[in-house]
Amino acid sequence: MNENDVTPTTPGQPGAVHPASNPTMPIPRPPAGPVPPPPAAGAPYGLAFGATPPSGPGTGPGPDAGQSRPERERRMWPAIVGTAALTAVLASGGSVLAINALDDDVAPQSSTSIAGGSSNISLTTVGETTWEEIASQVAPSVVAIQVATSSGEGEGSGVIIDASGRIVTNNHVVAGANNDTVQVSLSDGRIYDAKIVGLDPSTDLAVVQLVDPPQDLQPATFADSDKVLVGNPVMAVGNPLGLANTVTTGIVSALSRPVSTMDESSYVVTNAIQIDAAINPGNSGGPLFNAAGEVIGITSSIATLSSGSSQAGSIGLGFAIPSNLARSISDQLIEDGEAEHAFLGVSLSDATASADGVTRRGARVEEVTAGSPAANAGLQRGDVIVALDGTFVTGAESLTAAVRERSSGSEATVTYVRGEQSVDVAVTFATRPVEETTDESTQVPDDEPSGDTWTWPGSDEFDWFPGSGD
Protein backbone atom coordinates (compact mmCIF):
# COMPACT_ATOMS: atom_id res chain seq x y z
CA MET A 1 0.00 0.00 0.00
CA ASN A 2 1.05 3.47 -0.53
CA GLU A 3 0.64 6.89 0.97
CA ASN A 4 2.06 9.91 -0.69
CA ASP A 5 2.49 13.59 -0.25
CA VAL A 6 3.45 16.39 -2.59
CA THR A 7 4.60 19.95 -2.33
CA PRO A 8 3.02 22.30 -4.87
CA THR A 9 4.98 25.35 -5.95
CA THR A 10 2.25 27.80 -4.99
CA PRO A 11 1.76 28.06 -1.19
CA GLY A 12 -1.60 26.68 -0.16
CA GLN A 13 -2.23 25.02 -3.50
CA PRO A 14 -3.46 21.43 -3.17
CA GLY A 15 -1.64 18.38 -4.44
CA ALA A 16 -3.06 14.86 -4.67
CA VAL A 17 -2.03 11.84 -2.63
CA HIS A 18 -3.06 8.20 -2.51
CA PRO A 19 -4.97 7.27 0.64
CA ALA A 20 -3.37 3.97 1.44
CA SER A 21 -2.38 2.11 4.56
CA ASN A 22 -2.46 1.96 8.32
CA PRO A 23 -2.27 -0.63 11.11
CA THR A 24 -4.95 -3.28 11.42
CA MET A 25 -7.86 -2.44 13.68
CA PRO A 26 -10.74 -4.68 14.87
CA ILE A 27 -13.50 -4.91 12.28
CA PRO A 28 -16.86 -4.12 13.89
CA ARG A 29 -20.17 -5.26 12.42
CA PRO A 30 -22.48 -2.48 11.22
CA PRO A 31 -24.99 -1.65 13.96
CA ALA A 32 -28.60 -2.60 13.47
CA GLY A 33 -31.23 0.09 13.18
CA PRO A 34 -30.69 3.83 12.84
CA VAL A 35 -27.18 5.14 13.22
CA PRO A 36 -25.82 8.63 13.79
CA PRO A 37 -25.25 10.63 10.62
CA PRO A 38 -21.87 10.28 8.92
CA PRO A 39 -19.31 13.06 9.29
CA ALA A 40 -20.11 16.19 7.35
CA ALA A 41 -18.75 16.20 3.83
CA GLY A 42 -15.09 17.10 3.84
CA ALA A 43 -14.70 16.53 7.59
CA PRO A 44 -12.68 13.34 8.25
CA TYR A 45 -11.19 11.86 11.36
CA GLY A 46 -7.52 11.00 11.48
CA LEU A 47 -3.99 12.11 10.82
CA ALA A 48 -3.70 15.48 9.12
CA PHE A 49 -2.08 15.07 5.72
CA GLY A 50 0.99 17.18 5.14
CA ALA A 51 1.61 17.28 8.91
CA THR A 52 4.33 15.36 10.69
CA PRO A 53 2.88 12.00 11.81
CA PRO A 54 3.28 10.77 15.38
CA SER A 55 6.28 8.63 16.14
CA GLY A 56 5.97 4.91 15.67
CA PRO A 57 6.72 2.13 13.18
CA GLY A 58 6.90 3.32 9.63
CA THR A 59 6.58 7.00 10.43
CA GLY A 60 8.83 9.92 9.84
CA PRO A 61 8.72 13.62 9.17
CA GLY A 62 8.10 14.97 5.70
CA PRO A 63 10.85 16.91 3.95
CA ASP A 64 11.54 20.41 5.16
CA ALA A 65 10.59 23.17 2.78
CA GLY A 66 14.19 24.23 2.47
CA GLN A 67 15.71 20.78 2.49
CA SER A 68 17.99 20.06 -0.45
CA ARG A 69 16.76 17.15 -2.55
CA PRO A 70 18.86 14.17 -3.60
CA GLU A 71 20.25 13.99 -7.11
CA ARG A 72 17.76 11.28 -8.07
CA GLU A 73 14.95 13.79 -7.94
CA ARG A 74 13.84 14.93 -11.38
CA ARG A 75 11.60 17.59 -12.77
CA MET A 76 7.97 16.92 -13.43
CA TRP A 77 5.61 18.88 -15.60
CA PRO A 78 2.56 19.96 -13.57
CA ALA A 79 -1.01 19.24 -14.61
CA ILE A 80 -3.05 22.25 -15.58
CA VAL A 81 -6.45 21.76 -14.01
CA GLY A 82 -8.17 25.09 -13.70
CA THR A 83 -5.80 26.91 -11.37
CA ALA A 84 -4.61 23.88 -9.41
CA ALA A 85 -2.06 21.19 -10.23
CA LEU A 86 -3.37 17.85 -8.99
CA THR A 87 -0.54 15.34 -8.93
CA ALA A 88 0.29 12.38 -6.69
CA VAL A 89 3.32 10.21 -6.08
CA LEU A 90 3.22 6.91 -4.24
CA ALA A 91 4.73 5.92 -0.92
CA SER A 92 3.95 3.19 1.58
CA GLY A 93 4.06 2.26 5.22
CA GLY A 94 1.98 2.06 8.36
CA SER A 95 1.67 4.84 10.90
CA VAL A 96 0.39 5.00 14.46
CA LEU A 97 -3.29 5.86 14.43
CA ALA A 98 -4.06 9.34 15.71
CA ILE A 99 -7.69 10.46 15.76
CA ASN A 100 -8.57 14.13 15.71
CA ALA A 101 -12.21 15.14 15.38
CA LEU A 102 -12.70 18.16 13.16
CA ASP A 103 -15.40 20.59 14.19
CA ASP A 104 -16.59 21.73 10.76
CA ASP A 105 -20.31 21.11 10.35
CA VAL A 106 -22.17 21.05 7.06
CA ALA A 107 -25.94 20.82 6.86
CA PRO A 108 -27.13 17.48 5.39
CA GLN A 109 -29.14 17.38 2.18
CA SER A 110 -32.28 16.71 4.22
CA SER A 111 -32.88 15.18 7.61
CA THR A 112 -35.50 13.91 10.00
CA SER A 113 -34.91 14.21 13.73
CA ILE A 114 -36.23 11.37 15.87
CA ALA A 115 -36.69 12.19 19.53
CA GLY A 116 -35.06 9.70 21.87
CA GLY A 117 -35.04 10.86 25.47
CA SER A 118 -32.82 13.91 25.67
CA SER A 119 -31.08 13.27 22.32
CA ASN A 120 -32.00 13.31 18.65
CA ILE A 121 -30.84 11.00 15.87
CA SER A 122 -30.70 12.59 12.43
CA LEU A 123 -31.47 10.34 9.47
CA THR A 124 -29.95 11.80 6.33
CA THR A 125 -32.13 11.00 3.32
CA VAL A 126 -31.58 10.81 -0.41
CA GLY A 127 -34.98 10.83 -2.07
CA GLU A 128 -36.95 8.08 -0.36
CA THR A 129 -33.84 6.17 0.72
CA THR A 130 -31.77 6.91 3.81
CA TRP A 131 -28.00 6.67 3.85
CA GLU A 132 -28.49 4.25 6.75
CA GLU A 133 -30.33 1.88 4.41
CA ILE A 134 -27.69 2.24 1.71
CA ALA A 135 -24.86 1.64 4.19
CA SER A 136 -26.53 -1.52 5.47
CA GLN A 137 -27.21 -2.69 1.92
CA VAL A 138 -23.67 -2.29 0.57
CA ALA A 139 -21.58 -3.17 3.65
CA PRO A 140 -21.23 -6.90 2.81
CA SER A 141 -19.74 -6.00 -0.60
CA VAL A 142 -16.84 -4.00 0.86
CA VAL A 143 -13.65 -5.57 2.21
CA ALA A 144 -10.51 -4.53 4.06
CA ILE A 145 -7.22 -5.68 2.54
CA GLN A 146 -4.04 -6.32 4.54
CA VAL A 147 -0.77 -6.62 2.64
CA ALA A 148 2.75 -7.60 3.67
CA THR A 149 5.56 -6.50 1.35
CA SER A 150 9.32 -6.45 1.56
CA SER A 151 9.13 -2.89 2.87
CA GLY A 152 6.48 -3.41 5.55
CA GLU A 153 2.77 -3.87 6.04
CA GLY A 154 -0.20 -1.79 5.07
CA GLU A 155 -3.90 -1.78 4.38
CA GLY A 156 -6.44 -0.75 1.80
CA SER A 157 -9.96 -1.47 0.70
CA GLY A 158 -11.71 -3.36 -2.07
CA VAL A 159 -15.10 -4.29 -3.47
CA ILE A 160 -16.44 -7.77 -4.28
CA ILE A 161 -17.44 -8.03 -7.95
CA ASP A 162 -18.64 -11.64 -8.27
CA ALA A 163 -19.75 -14.65 -6.24
CA SER A 164 -16.49 -16.50 -6.90
CA GLY A 165 -14.63 -14.06 -4.66
CA ARG A 166 -13.01 -11.68 -7.12
CA ILE A 167 -12.29 -8.24 -5.71
CA VAL A 168 -11.34 -4.97 -7.39
CA THR A 169 -8.87 -2.69 -5.62
CA ASN A 170 -6.03 -0.30 -6.47
CA ASN A 171 -2.76 -1.52 -7.92
CA HIS A 172 -0.85 0.53 -5.35
CA VAL A 173 -2.67 -1.33 -2.56
CA VAL A 174 -1.54 -4.86 -3.49
CA ALA A 175 1.49 -4.44 -5.78
CA GLY A 176 4.58 -6.04 -4.26
CA ALA A 177 2.67 -8.36 -1.94
CA ASN A 178 4.77 -11.24 -0.65
CA ASN A 179 4.05 -14.40 -2.69
CA ASP A 180 1.33 -12.44 -4.53
CA THR A 181 -0.92 -13.14 -1.55
CA VAL A 182 -2.93 -10.71 0.55
CA GLN A 183 -5.35 -11.08 3.44
CA VAL A 184 -8.95 -9.98 3.03
CA SER A 185 -11.38 -9.23 5.86
CA LEU A 186 -15.09 -9.31 5.10
CA SER A 187 -17.45 -6.84 6.73
CA ASP A 188 -18.48 -9.43 9.34
CA GLY A 189 -14.88 -10.06 10.40
CA ARG A 190 -14.19 -13.32 8.55
CA ILE A 191 -10.65 -13.42 7.15
CA TYR A 192 -9.47 -15.11 3.94
CA ASP A 193 -6.30 -15.33 1.93
CA ALA A 194 -6.48 -13.97 -1.60
CA LYS A 195 -4.21 -14.31 -4.61
CA ILE A 196 -3.46 -11.54 -7.07
CA VAL A 197 -5.21 -12.19 -10.39
CA GLY A 198 -3.83 -9.24 -12.31
CA LEU A 199 -2.30 -5.79 -11.91
CA ASP A 200 -2.59 -2.75 -14.16
CA PRO A 201 -0.25 0.03 -13.03
CA SER A 202 -1.35 2.27 -15.90
CA THR A 203 -4.82 2.70 -14.40
CA ASP A 204 -3.90 1.87 -10.78
CA LEU A 205 -6.35 -1.03 -10.77
CA ALA A 206 -5.96 -4.64 -9.64
CA VAL A 207 -8.02 -7.78 -9.11
CA VAL A 208 -7.51 -10.32 -6.33
CA GLN A 209 -9.47 -13.53 -5.69
CA LEU A 210 -10.31 -15.19 -2.40
CA VAL A 211 -8.86 -18.63 -1.77
CA ASP A 212 -11.70 -21.00 -0.80
CA PRO A 213 -14.35 -18.24 -0.78
CA PRO A 214 -17.56 -18.65 1.23
CA GLN A 215 -20.88 -19.27 -0.50
CA ASP A 216 -22.63 -16.21 0.87
CA LEU A 217 -20.62 -13.44 -0.79
CA GLN A 218 -22.60 -10.38 -1.87
CA PRO A 219 -21.14 -8.82 -5.03
CA ALA A 220 -21.67 -5.11 -5.58
CA THR A 221 -23.70 -3.75 -8.49
CA PHE A 222 -21.84 -1.44 -10.87
CA ALA A 223 -23.54 1.59 -12.41
CA ASP A 224 -22.76 3.40 -15.67
CA SER A 225 -20.31 6.12 -14.63
CA ASP A 226 -21.04 8.02 -17.85
CA LYS A 227 -24.43 8.88 -16.33
CA VAL A 228 -22.97 10.43 -13.18
CA LEU A 229 -23.72 14.15 -12.83
CA VAL A 230 -22.07 16.91 -10.83
CA GLY A 231 -24.04 17.32 -7.62
CA ASN A 232 -25.08 13.66 -7.35
CA PRO A 233 -24.93 12.38 -3.75
CA VAL A 234 -22.27 9.74 -3.08
CA MET A 235 -21.10 7.43 -0.29
CA ALA A 236 -17.52 6.18 0.15
CA VAL A 237 -17.09 2.97 2.14
CA GLY A 238 -13.76 1.53 3.18
CA ASN A 239 -11.03 0.96 5.71
CA PRO A 240 -9.51 4.40 6.44
CA LEU A 241 -6.75 4.39 9.06
CA GLY A 242 -7.61 0.75 9.79
CA LEU A 243 -11.19 1.63 10.78
CA ALA A 244 -13.13 -0.95 8.78
CA ASN A 245 -16.71 -0.38 7.59
CA THR A 246 -16.30 3.40 7.68
CA VAL A 247 -18.90 5.35 5.71
CA THR A 248 -18.58 8.97 4.56
CA THR A 249 -20.93 10.91 2.31
CA GLY A 250 -20.77 13.90 0.01
CA ILE A 251 -21.47 14.90 -3.56
CA VAL A 252 -19.81 14.68 -6.95
CA SER A 253 -17.82 17.91 -7.18
CA ALA A 254 -16.54 17.55 -10.76
CA LEU A 255 -16.20 15.05 -13.57
CA SER A 256 -13.34 14.14 -15.90
CA ARG A 257 -10.80 15.74 -13.59
CA PRO A 258 -7.30 14.84 -14.84
CA VAL A 259 -5.38 13.54 -11.83
CA SER A 260 -1.90 12.04 -12.07
CA THR A 261 -0.09 9.66 -9.75
CA MET A 262 3.34 8.09 -9.90
CA ASP A 263 4.50 4.68 -8.79
CA GLU A 264 7.79 2.89 -9.31
CA SER A 265 7.12 1.99 -12.93
CA SER A 266 4.18 3.90 -14.34
CA TYR A 267 2.82 7.38 -14.66
CA VAL A 268 -0.92 7.10 -14.04
CA VAL A 269 -3.30 9.71 -15.40
CA THR A 270 -7.02 9.31 -14.78
CA ASN A 271 -10.09 11.29 -15.76
CA ALA A 272 -11.35 11.02 -12.21
CA ILE A 273 -14.63 11.67 -10.46
CA GLN A 274 -13.93 14.42 -7.93
CA ILE A 275 -15.85 14.16 -4.65
CA ASP A 276 -16.03 15.99 -1.34
CA ALA A 277 -16.73 12.88 0.75
CA ALA A 278 -13.90 12.40 3.24
CA ILE A 279 -11.43 9.67 2.24
CA ASN A 280 -8.20 8.90 4.03
CA PRO A 281 -5.28 6.43 4.04
CA GLY A 282 -6.79 2.95 3.84
CA ASN A 283 -9.71 4.04 1.64
CA SER A 284 -7.68 3.26 -1.49
CA GLY A 285 -9.39 0.63 -3.63
CA GLY A 286 -12.72 1.02 -1.88
CA PRO A 287 -16.00 1.64 -3.69
CA LEU A 288 -17.81 4.91 -4.23
CA PHE A 289 -21.57 4.36 -4.28
CA ASN A 290 -24.43 6.40 -5.69
CA ALA A 291 -27.75 6.92 -3.91
CA ALA A 292 -29.02 3.62 -5.33
CA GLY A 293 -26.20 1.66 -3.69
CA GLU A 294 -24.40 1.09 -7.01
CA VAL A 295 -20.65 1.46 -7.54
CA ILE A 296 -19.77 4.49 -9.65
CA GLY A 297 -16.05 4.61 -8.85
CA ILE A 298 -13.03 3.22 -7.00
CA THR A 299 -11.55 5.74 -4.56
CA SER A 300 -7.85 6.19 -5.25
CA SER A 301 -6.39 9.56 -4.27
CA ILE A 302 -6.93 12.75 -2.33
CA ALA A 303 -5.58 16.28 -2.46
CA THR A 304 -3.68 17.87 0.40
CA LEU A 305 -2.36 21.32 1.10
CA SER A 306 1.35 21.97 1.03
CA SER A 307 3.31 21.12 4.16
CA GLY A 308 3.76 24.83 4.87
CA SER A 309 0.04 25.46 5.11
CA SER A 310 -1.51 26.12 8.52
CA GLN A 311 -4.60 24.11 7.55
CA ALA A 312 -4.89 20.38 8.17
CA GLY A 313 -7.07 17.39 7.45
CA SER A 314 -9.31 16.80 4.49
CA ILE A 315 -9.89 19.77 2.24
CA GLY A 316 -12.75 18.08 0.46
CA LEU A 317 -10.85 16.97 -2.63
CA GLY A 318 -11.03 13.25 -3.25
CA PHE A 319 -10.83 11.33 -6.51
CA ALA A 320 -12.26 8.06 -7.78
CA ILE A 321 -11.57 5.99 -10.89
CA PRO A 322 -14.85 5.82 -12.88
CA SER A 323 -16.68 2.50 -12.64
CA ASN A 324 -16.80 1.99 -16.42
CA LEU A 325 -13.01 2.06 -16.59
CA ALA A 326 -12.70 -0.12 -13.48
CA ARG A 327 -15.06 -2.71 -14.94
CA SER A 328 -13.35 -2.75 -18.33
CA ILE A 329 -9.88 -3.17 -16.85
CA SER A 330 -10.97 -5.76 -14.28
CA ASP A 331 -12.66 -7.85 -16.99
CA GLN A 332 -9.40 -7.87 -18.96
CA LEU A 333 -7.34 -8.74 -15.89
CA ILE A 334 -9.66 -11.65 -15.11
CA GLU A 335 -9.62 -12.89 -18.71
CA ASP A 336 -5.96 -12.38 -19.61
CA GLY A 337 -4.10 -11.37 -16.46
CA GLU A 338 -3.24 -8.05 -18.07
CA ALA A 339 -4.98 -5.12 -19.75
CA GLU A 340 -4.51 -3.48 -23.12
CA HIS A 341 -4.51 0.29 -23.51
CA ALA A 342 -5.21 2.66 -26.34
CA PHE A 343 -2.17 4.26 -27.95
CA LEU A 344 -2.14 7.50 -29.94
CA GLY A 345 1.62 7.90 -30.29
CA VAL A 346 2.46 11.47 -29.32
CA SER A 347 4.46 13.31 -26.69
CA LEU A 348 2.65 16.37 -25.37
CA SER A 349 2.98 19.61 -23.46
CA ASP A 350 0.49 22.24 -22.33
CA ALA A 351 -0.31 25.03 -24.75
CA THR A 352 -2.99 27.41 -25.99
CA ALA A 353 -4.18 27.85 -29.55
CA SER A 354 -6.39 30.34 -31.38
CA ALA A 355 -8.74 29.61 -34.25
CA ASP A 356 -11.81 31.46 -35.55
CA GLY A 357 -11.23 34.20 -33.00
CA VAL A 358 -11.36 31.80 -30.03
CA THR A 359 -8.40 30.89 -27.82
CA ARG A 360 -8.44 27.56 -25.97
CA ARG A 361 -6.14 25.48 -23.86
CA GLY A 362 -4.93 22.26 -25.39
CA ALA A 363 -2.13 19.73 -25.74
CA ARG A 364 0.75 20.66 -28.05
CA VAL A 365 2.27 17.78 -30.02
CA GLU A 366 6.00 17.71 -29.31
CA GLU A 367 6.81 14.44 -31.03
CA VAL A 368 4.94 11.92 -33.20
CA THR A 369 5.86 8.24 -33.12
CA ALA A 370 6.49 6.87 -36.60
CA GLY A 371 3.77 4.49 -37.78
CA SER A 372 1.48 5.42 -34.88
CA PRO A 373 -2.22 6.33 -35.17
CA ALA A 374 -1.22 9.98 -34.78
CA ALA A 375 1.25 9.72 -37.65
CA ASN A 376 -1.28 7.92 -39.82
CA ALA A 377 -3.79 10.70 -39.13
CA GLY A 378 -1.31 13.36 -40.25
CA LEU A 379 -0.63 14.98 -36.88
CA GLN A 380 2.60 16.98 -36.77
CA ARG A 381 4.86 18.59 -34.19
CA GLY A 382 3.37 21.93 -33.20
CA ASP A 383 -0.27 20.93 -33.69
CA VAL A 384 -2.37 21.76 -30.63
CA ILE A 385 -5.04 19.16 -29.88
CA VAL A 386 -8.06 20.89 -28.33
CA ALA A 387 -10.77 18.20 -28.35
CA LEU A 388 -11.38 14.46 -28.53
CA ASP A 389 -14.77 13.41 -29.89
CA GLY A 390 -16.03 16.94 -29.34
CA THR A 391 -15.02 17.06 -25.68
CA PHE A 392 -12.51 19.83 -25.02
CA VAL A 393 -9.18 18.94 -23.42
CA THR A 394 -7.42 21.41 -21.14
CA GLY A 395 -3.86 20.23 -21.54
CA ALA A 396 -1.51 17.29 -21.91
CA GLU A 397 -2.76 15.37 -18.90
CA SER A 398 -6.36 15.96 -19.88
CA LEU A 399 -5.76 14.40 -23.30
CA THR A 400 -3.69 11.57 -21.82
CA ALA A 401 -6.49 10.71 -19.41
CA ALA A 402 -9.06 10.81 -22.22
CA VAL A 403 -6.99 8.44 -24.37
CA ARG A 404 -6.46 6.02 -21.50
CA GLU A 405 -10.22 5.70 -21.12
CA ARG A 406 -10.43 4.33 -24.66
CA SER A 407 -9.85 0.78 -25.80
CA SER A 408 -7.39 -0.27 -28.46
CA GLY A 409 -9.04 -0.52 -31.84
CA SER A 410 -11.64 2.12 -31.02
CA GLU A 411 -12.08 5.20 -33.17
CA ALA A 412 -12.26 8.87 -32.25
CA THR A 413 -12.27 12.31 -33.83
CA VAL A 414 -9.31 14.48 -32.89
CA THR A 415 -9.71 18.24 -33.22
CA TYR A 416 -6.46 20.17 -33.50
CA VAL A 417 -5.30 23.65 -34.43
CA ARG A 418 -2.54 24.16 -36.98
CA GLY A 419 -1.64 27.76 -37.63
CA GLU A 420 -5.01 29.36 -37.00
CA GLN A 421 -7.09 26.65 -38.65
CA SER A 422 -9.15 24.10 -36.73
CA VAL A 423 -9.03 20.60 -38.24
CA ASP A 424 -10.99 17.42 -37.44
CA VAL A 425 -9.34 14.09 -38.21
CA ALA A 426 -10.38 10.50 -37.51
CA VAL A 427 -7.97 8.22 -35.66
CA THR A 428 -8.07 4.53 -34.79
CA PHE A 429 -6.24 3.82 -31.55
CA ALA A 430 -3.62 1.09 -31.57
CA THR A 431 -2.60 -1.12 -28.66
CA ARG A 432 0.08 0.48 -26.55
CA PRO A 433 3.34 -1.47 -26.90
CA VAL A 434 4.43 -3.28 -23.75
CA GLU A 435 7.72 -1.38 -23.65
CA GLU A 436 5.91 1.95 -24.02
CA THR A 437 5.66 3.17 -20.43
CA THR A 438 4.66 6.78 -20.87
CA ASP A 439 2.04 6.49 -23.65
CA GLU A 440 0.83 9.97 -24.51
CA SER A 441 3.68 11.40 -22.46
CA THR A 442 2.99 14.54 -20.50
CA GLN A 443 6.65 15.29 -19.97
CA VAL A 444 8.01 18.59 -21.20
CA PRO A 445 11.04 18.09 -23.48
CA ASP A 446 14.41 18.65 -21.82
CA ASP A 447 14.92 22.00 -23.56
CA GLU A 448 11.78 23.49 -22.00
CA PRO A 449 11.36 24.70 -18.42
CA SER A 450 9.70 22.41 -15.93
CA GLY A 451 7.19 23.26 -13.27
CA ASP A 452 6.80 21.80 -9.82
CA THR A 453 8.99 19.10 -8.33
CA TRP A 454 7.18 16.33 -6.48
CA THR A 455 8.79 14.18 -3.81
CA TRP A 456 7.97 11.50 -1.29
CA PRO A 457 7.98 12.37 2.40
CA GLY A 458 11.07 10.83 3.98
CA SER A 459 10.86 7.91 6.40
CA ASP A 460 12.23 4.43 6.96
CA GLU A 461 9.40 3.03 4.86
CA PHE A 462 9.91 5.13 1.75
CA ASP A 463 12.56 7.09 -0.04
CA TRP A 464 12.93 10.00 -2.42
CA PHE A 465 11.44 9.16 -5.76
CA PRO A 466 12.02 10.85 -9.13
CA GLY A 467 9.23 13.12 -10.26
CA SER A 468 9.00 11.74 -13.79
CA GLY A 469 9.84 8.65 -15.75
CA ASP A 470 12.53 8.26 -18.37
Query: Which H or E element spans position 119?
Result: strand 119-126
Catalytic residue selected from 172, 200, 306, 350: 172
Q: Distance (Å, rounded) from C-alpha 95 to C-alpha 425?
A: 51
> Which residues lie below 8 Å from residue 64, measured CB to CB, with a gap of 6+?
none
H-state helical runs in 314-395:
323-336, 373-376
List of residues 6+ apart from 357 with CB closer than 8 A = none
Report the C-alpha gap between 379 and 401 in whole angstroms.
19
The DSSP annotation for 255-285 comes to EEEEEEEE-SS-EEEEEEEEE-S---TT-TT
Give the span between the Cα atoms of 411 and 324, in whole angstroms. Answer: 18
H/E segment holding residue 174? helix 171-174
Assess contact for 14 and 305: CB atoms under 8 A.
yes
**Intra-chain end-to-end CA distance of the chain, in Å:** 24
172 as an active site residue: the answer is yes
- Exactly one of 204, 276, 350, 452 is catalytic; name it: 204
- 399: closest CA among 445, 346, 435, 449? 346
3-state secondary structure of 363: strand
The strand pair at 346-355 and 246-262 is best described as: unpaired
Q: Quick one: which H or E segment has residue 194? A: strand 191-200
The answer to whether 289 and 247 are in contact (CB under 8 A) is no
Q: Classify burial at 426, counting beta carbons within 10 Å of its beta carbon; exposed 0-12, middle 13-18, buried 19 or more.
A: exposed
Q: Check: CB of residue 263 under 8 Å from CB of residue 90.
A: yes
Query: Is 204 a residue of the active site?
Result: yes
Fill in the DSSP letter of residue 374: H
Among the listed residues 141, 284, 349, 398, the single catalytic one is: 284
CA distances for 306 relative to 64, 93, 282, 314, angstroms: 11, 20, 21, 12
What amino acid positions are annotated as catalytic residues? 172, 204, 284
